[in-house]
Structure 1
Amino acid sequence: MNSTDRTPADLLRSALATDPGRPLVTFYDDATGERVELSVATFANWVAKTANLLQGDLSAGPGDRLALHLPAHWQSAVWLLACASVGVEADVAGDPAAADVVVSGPDTLEAARACRGERVALALRPLGGRFPAAPEGFMDYAVEVPSQGDRFAPFAPVDADEAALSVGGTSLSAAQVVERARADAEALGLGPGSRVLSGLPYDTWEGLSSGLYAPLASGASVVLVRNIGELSAAGLAKRVESERVTHTRGA
């Protein structure tokens, strides 16, 4: 990654320029058997489409706050990078009533209704599938995102020193997210070619860093596992081998 990168969106652009075809996020849900692998280019395309949805259809921009109520999931990672691309603060498990936009999975819809702004729902079904019927009062992400543009340009420049992420009661600027991610990557010994298997939830900095930011900051990739408790010790060992995992977190 470039030393001049100051935001998570910068890190993704550098990864795209360096090796767009390599795997970036490999996602497993051990309760459903789902496996999805996204290259840097595919992940960046999802981020661009989601950022266009956020900036265009949802009218969000720098200074706005998005309450993110999603589990550790590849689509959650997409939303985190889309927020960074637009300059919106992602408030992980934040109060929907205090947010301009709420993004919710199927299990948190009732709490998300407290948001007086725009509401987006994700079914979190395999292959990014939609709800059979959109929840009342919510935009179905899977219906709206495919038609969005494949390239993204922010209407306003993203200030790396403004709030970008809030998690566990701590608010971080975009630059602080990158700084912490680089420090974590160094502490873990991550570099190009490293593969981090993370079974940690996305509701703490440790989970977000292990499951997204530290690998992104170091040219590594992540094997993100939801419901890892469903996997036996033998199954975990087999996955570590098959996915060429070099580091494990929360497993």
Structure 2
Amino acid sequence: MRHYQRALITGATSGIGAGFASELPGDTRLLLTGRDETRLGAQAQELARPDRPVATIAADLTQAEAIERLVAAADDFEIDLLINNAGSGRLGAVIDNAVEDELATVQLNVVAVVALTRRLLPGMIERAARAGRRAGLIIVSSTAAFAPVPYFATYAASKSFDLHFAEALAEELRGQPVDVLALCPGATQTAFGPRAGYRSARFPGAADPRNVARGALSALGCQTVHVAGSLSQAALAPMVLPRRVATGLIGRAMRLFVAR
């Protein structure tokens, strides 16, 4: 695992984001963001040490103004690791879901990721080159990125964007002092499922978020795409099937999760 001095984690108050905050070394200074100021404060108290301050900024990253505030804070913090973890999605047919929910998914999973990455990477690379170190970028995608997912269409499409964006960035930045990783977790023990509309909060074989985060930190600098967990390797199966067949099979499976 590479060592980083200052990290920004979006969506840090729960799930995989909280896992990253816990799994980074104790001397890595943290800038944590999420929408719940109270939870951020409690998390900062838990993680802070006398020699490791933890800064927080409450922000709704579906809003342009919040992104601007976070960029300014991250530049002042002089981060060398950016973890784009915040994400949202809504289970159900696109035409049945609220327009606001579908647009918020794109704003958070795509627009905020591009905005933060584009605004913060140049400074990260410049500081890394000056110090003779390497910076790091993790974009949290999903195993849903590998195929169209009916009844989770916008979420899966947004995560496909994240995957392709990270892979392309890794190639563009080859030779620069920065490592790029697309993390593709499958079912994980987080609050994402209930928020997205799944009828059950528990999934058989769901991964521990700290294990997912630990695996991603170990993979950063060694590979470009990391599919978390052996069970999640099944997500690659649609890649060997005709696309129409894979979409139909996934759609039939997803109907079981849609609340009636």
Same fold by TM-score greater than 0.5: no
Structure exhibiting the larger radius of gyration computed from Cα positions: 2
Higher normalized helix content (fraction of residues): 2
TM-score (structure 2 length as normaliser): 0.28
Higher normalized strand content (fraction of residues): 1
